[in-house]
Structure 1
Amino acid sequence: MSQENSSYKQIFKATSIFGGVQVFNILISILRAKFIAVIVGPIGIGLYGLLTSTIGLITSVTSFGLGASSIKDIAYANEQADQGKLLEISGVLNKLVWYTGGLGMILTLILSPLLSKLTFDNYDYTWSFVLLSVTLFLGQLTLGKDAVLQGTRQLKWLAYANMASSVISLVVTFPLYFIYGIKGIVPAMIVMSAMTLIVTQFFYARLKFVLPNLNFKETWAKGQGMLKLGFFLSLSGIIATACSYGVRIFITRFGGLEQVGFYTAGFGIINSYVGIVFTAMATDYFPRLSASIYDKSKFSLIVNQQGNVALIILGPILTAFVVFVNFAIIILYSRAFLPTESMMQLAMVGMFFKAAAWLLGFIVIAKNDTKVFFWSELVANIYHSAFSCVGFYFWGLEGLGYSFGLGYALHLVQMYFIAKLKYDFKFNREFLKIFAVQFIIALAALIVMKTISNDLISYGTGLLLIMATTVFSAYNLNRIINIKDQVNKILKKNK
């Protein structure tokens, strides 16, 4: 049990470090989102969402998945203490991000009129895309430096870079929104990209790497493996971005730009503020899983342990959001965004299915079954998008909440079928028990908030359910890492 406790402690340690960074960035994002929402309103948020999703689509196409594939190679060379190989891989990556970043910028410049027409059904935003083309180049350069920092395990520097760039970008972009309103969105996006690169470069320079000077032919020859792996992985990202783009376009056509603003804001909270758990854990989870992926009993244990931790953390967070989502909307945005309340409550419950499917998706990647991952993601994104479009068409924003839960429930079944059939994986009883209890409590909170009109009764019952899931999580947390012992150790150190 001590080895198991040690594994759980490692998971919580990594999660707390990166969770802290994410919380800090989220606080900065809250300030930025609140400011933008007040200044530009739902229409401005909708415009921002359409611009970022379009640029994201081009980035997915031209980045070739170098972020994922390069980290794997850099981390391996760093683990083997092969400085020559590490510098070679970093040098290849440095050249590749320049080439791919330039490709993305040029492609956006050429396609800017078409992008404006497809996105907004007019050519009014052609120059917006022309100006934003530089963000693809800057973003790709930043990605390369982030990959080296993460691959060499300079996680504190990476954390500092993320936090510093968030603060500086916030301070610099505030005046743009305040002075220019909606017209300040594009300049603010460019400034944010530039500030992020400058700050990341500052910490990257501390590595003092002297990279080899490679020409195009050498870069291509040595980078083919990185590009091939990244290409297969990036295909899933391209599909996801394209489907998200398609859903936004559908909502624009049948609901208007304001509805896109509601959709963007609602799922922005879900993916950013709740997604902190996934972001924080993925940094540690994927490397550990990859290291043990060919040991069936070991990788199965890692997946189940990671799942337990995810549910212990997510349970109270999701239930609290279900109960107090309207307050969260007002704090994070404004009262103008309250129409997203029901959509977000439904999606929060659906996050339990997403968490379980998320765990299983990493198994496929760690097994290097990129084709299986690609086809499973393709199928999943197709029905996710179809559910979203049908849900919005018939039931509006609330339909998007139902479609989110239904989509990830089906996604979980799909991924579990793949994991069971190909890798003989199964969730253990402990995971299933924690999942069932946390899901039932959150579902009960949803039913209470949607069916009881008396605020005193609904919020009172909701608070009791939040307390129940918190106590359940605390009990399980103490059981797996022995909180009392950890507190005693800290107290002894401070004496």
Structure 2
Amino acid sequence: MSLAKTSILSLIVTVFKMLSGLILNKAVAVFIGPTGLATIGQFKSFIQICMVLGQGGINAGITKYCAESYGDEDKINSVVSTSFVIGFTLSVVIAIVFNLIPQYISVRVFASPEYDYIIRTLGAVLVFYVFNTYFLSVLNGLGNTTYWFKVNIVQSVISIILTLVLIVSYELKGVLLALILNQSLVFLYLLFLLKNNAILVAAKRIDLVDKDNARKLLKFGLMALVSAIVVPVSHIVIRDYMTNELDSASVGYWQGVWYISSMYLMVLTSTLSVYYLPKFSSLRSKYSIWLEVKKGIIIFVLIACVLGYLIYLLREYVIIILFSDKFHEMSVLFKWQLSGDVIKIASWFFGYLMLAKAKVKSFIFCEIFFSILFVILSIYFIDLFGLVGITYAYFINYVIYFFVSFFLVFSELSFSPE
């Protein structure tokens, strides 16, 4: 699928997700407020960690090796079978742990033992999260991205319905339940789509499990595991620091502007994962890779600049539409948050290239170093400037990340066409 078509379909999916997010954030803002939004952000970070632990972090590897093996059915089936055995095993282990110490985990995540049933439920349905991601990773690697777009649109619709129903009855607890049950319903829909697909058969073939494939996939698992731990944990540390030094409402404001960033950049990040990850994986010429990177950065940075500038100009309206007048104080966060988003998009090209080419050491170094640096910069600038300091830290962190990741990739790529 071409970059133009992938971008257009990503835009359609993003529109659905933005509409879904608009409705859901409005509901959360009205029924729960900034403090509730901060709790939801904390839980989303925890889910992100659980997702990568359950997947073994190998979904990017699945996409890479399926793209590289395109046309070789035996190799693809072996990758599929091996990955599903890894995912099932890890999901069962996590489910057992969550059922043994649910109150302890609840206290660590929510600062209260009363959400132990949320932890148990998450453990029970995690396997559906994992398989859903695996199937989409295989289809992405094979170029069947139509399924990815269909599933994401359906997920947005299910998310709206489920969250609205549960938030009215159970408020914050209802939103938390909706977050973990949503993927289970989406997985059932994906199974329906794949009922006649050979991939579904290959996923059940335990006899096709290959140790060499497992080893290669787990290299990606190491990269994803590091990312899944250090990035959300750094955000959790920052939220805790903001709560102690400022207040929980300030955390909600930061979570709100972070949500806005993630939503408008979604069309770009979706294209990165759906188009560029398999594209970079399949390209052999270093010169071709470099041309693809340069072209992508020019296009994506321009789009990010235009979207960011429009959001900045309309920030007061965006706050009222997406949240409520209780979130008015978050308007000071837009300028440097949106500026950081532009640098973030440019630097992510180098991050995805490291991922696609399995540059394990470079990728892990960047993830750990810049997560720690973000925490240090956040604490420093929050102490100096208060709430707005978190966006100064975000911007500076990604400026440094851009140059370091550029240097790491630049040193490994050649400008010669060989």
Work out which of the residue numbers 62, 80, 84 in structure 2 matches 1:70: 62
1:492 aligned partner:
none
Determine if contact 2:78/2:210 at 8 Å carries over to the other structure: no
- Kept in 1: contact 2:246–2:387 (CA 8 A): no
* Equivalence for 1:155: 145
- Whole-angstrom distance in 2 between the partners of 1:227 and 1:336: 45
Larger RCO (CA within 8 A; separation ≥ 6): 2
Which residue among 52, 60, 67 is the counterpart of 2:52?
60
Q: Does 1:368 align with 2:358?
A: yes
- Return the alpha-carbon distance in structure 2 between the equivalents of residues 17 and 133 of structure 1: 33
Out of 327, 333, 346, which is 2:336 matched to? 346
**Corresponding residue for residue 171 of structure 1:** 161
d(CA) in 1 for partners of 2:141 and 2:240? 37
Q: Does 1:39 align with 2:31?
A: yes
Which residue is 2:7 aligned to?
A: 15
Q: 1:346–1:215: structure 2 CA closer, same or farther, 3 Å change rule? A: same
- The aligned residue for residue 48 of structure 1 is 40
Distance 1:269 1:311 in 2: 17
Q: CA separation of 1:397/1:327 partners in 2, compared to 1, >3 Å: closer, same or farther?
A: same
Letter in 2 for 1:419: V
The residue aligned with 2:230 is 239
Cα deviations by residue, 1:109-151 (Å, 9 ceiling, x for unpaired): 3443333333344434333323332342321121122222222
Query: Which residue of structure 2 aligns with residue 24 of structure 1?
Result: 16
Tell me if structure 2 keeps the 8 A contact 1:392–1:399: yes
Residue of structure 2 equivalent to 1:441: none
Pair 1:227 & 2:227 matched: no
Inter-partner Cα distance in structure 1 for 2:174 and 2:322: 20
2:83 alignment counterpart: 93
The alpha-carbon distance between structure 1 residues 417 and 273, as it changes in their structure 2 partners (threshold 3 A), is same
1:128 maps to what in 2? 118
SS in structure 2 opposite 1:239?
helix
Are 2:271 and 1:271 equivalent residues in the alignment?
Answer: no
- Which 5+ residue runs of structure 2 have no aligned equivalent? none
Give the number of the structure whose alpha-carbon radius of gyration is greater: 1
Displacement of 1:213 in angstroms is 5.0
The residue type equivalent to 1:250 in the other structure is: Y
What amino acid is aligned across from residue 142 of structure 1 in structure 2? N
Q: Which range moved further: 57-66 or 330-339?
A: 57-66
Paired residues of 1:14 and 1:281 also in contact (CA < 8 A): no
Contact 1:58 1:108 in 2 (8 A): no
Higher deviation after alignment, 251-260 or 189-198 = 251-260
Q: Any conservation in 1 of the 2:36–2:252 contact (CA below 8 Å)?
A: yes
Across the two proteins, how many residue pairs are aligned to each other? 415
Aligned partners of 1:331, 1:314: CA distance in 2, in Å?
A: 21
Correspondence for 2:385 among 392, 395, 407: 395
Give yes or no for the alignment of 1:290 onto 2:281: yes
> Offset of 1:53 from its aligned partner?
1.2
Matched AA of 1:115:
I
The answer to whether residue 180 in structure 2 is matched with residue 195 in structure 1 is no
Residue 82 of structure 2 contacts residue 206 of structure 2 at CA under 8 Å; is this kept in 1?
A: no
Distance of 1:219 and 1:101 partners within structure 2? 20
Query: What residue ranges of structure 1 are gaps of 5+ in the alignment?
Result: 1-8, 427-495
CA shift, 1:86, in A, is 2.4
Q: Secondary structure at the match of 1:211?
A: helix
| Amino acid across the alignment from 2:120 | V
Of 142, 146, 149 in structure 1, the residue corresponding to residue 132 of structure 2 is 142
**Equivalents in 1 of 2:137, 2:2: separation in Å?**
22
* 8 Å CA contact retained: 1:42, 1:262: yes
Equivalent residue for 2:245? Answer: 254
When the two structures are superposed, what TM-score results if normalisation uses the length of structure 1? 0.77
**Structure 2 residue corresponding to 1:82, chosen from 72, 76, 88:** 72
- Structure 1 282/193 Cα, relative in aligned 2: closer, same or farther at 3 Å? closer
On the 8 A contact 2:55/2:86 being kept in 1, the answer is no
Q: Which residue type is aligned with residue 371 of structure 1? A: K
- The aligned amino acid for 2:14 is Q
Q: Cα distance, 1:389 vs. partner?
A: 2.6
> Which of the residues 106, 114, 126 maps onto 1:116?
106
Q: Would the alpha carbon gap of residues 244 and 412 (structure 1) be closer, same or farther in structure 2, given more than 3 Å must change?
A: same
Query: 1: CA distance between counterparts of 2:167 and 2:174?
Result: 5
Residues 137-190 of structure 1: CA distance to partner in whole angstroms, max 9, x if unpaired?
A: 321121122222222322112211111122123113311111221231232223
Which moves more between the two structures, 90-99 or 36-45?
A: 90-99
Pairwise CA RMSD of aligned residues? 2.5
Listed one character per residue, the Cα deviations across residues 184-230 of structure 1 (whole Å, up to 9, x for unaligned) are 12322233122121122222324144237555994667533222332
**In 2: Cα distance, 1:309 partner to 1:89 partner:** 33
SS at match of 1:73: helix
Contact kept? 2:81, 2:206, Cα under 8 Å = no
Looking at structure 2, the residues matched to 135 and 392 of structure 1 have their Cα atoms a distance apart, in angstroms, of 38
Query: Contact conserved, 2:136 with 2:148, CA < 8 A, in 1?
Result: yes
Matched, 1:358 2:348: yes
Task: Quote how far apart the aligned CAs of 1:383 are.
Answer: 0.4
* Alpha carbons 1:145, 1:204 under 8 Å: kept: no
Cα distance in 1 for partners of 2:144, 2:409 equals 33
Aligned to 1:326: 316
What amino acid does structure 2 have at the position aligned with 1:268? Answer: Y
Q: Structure 1 residue 246: deviation in Å?
A: 1.9
Whether the aligned pair in 1 keeps the contact of 2:140 and 2:278 (CA below 8 Å) is no
Q: What is the identity, as a one-letter code, of the residue corresponding to 1:264? A: Q
- Counterpart residue identity of residue 7, structure 2: T
Pick from 198, 201, 209: which aligns with 1:210?
A: 201
Three-state SS of the structure 2 residue aligned to 1:345 is helix
Matched residue SS, 2:202: coil
| Offset of residue 418 of structure 1 | 1.8
TM-aligned CA distance change 1:128 to 1:362, over 3 Å: closer
Deviation at 1:402, TM superposition (A): 1.0
Deviates more, 1:108-117 or 1:147-156: 108-117
Which residue does 1:106 correspond to in 2? 96
Match of 1:183 in 2: 173
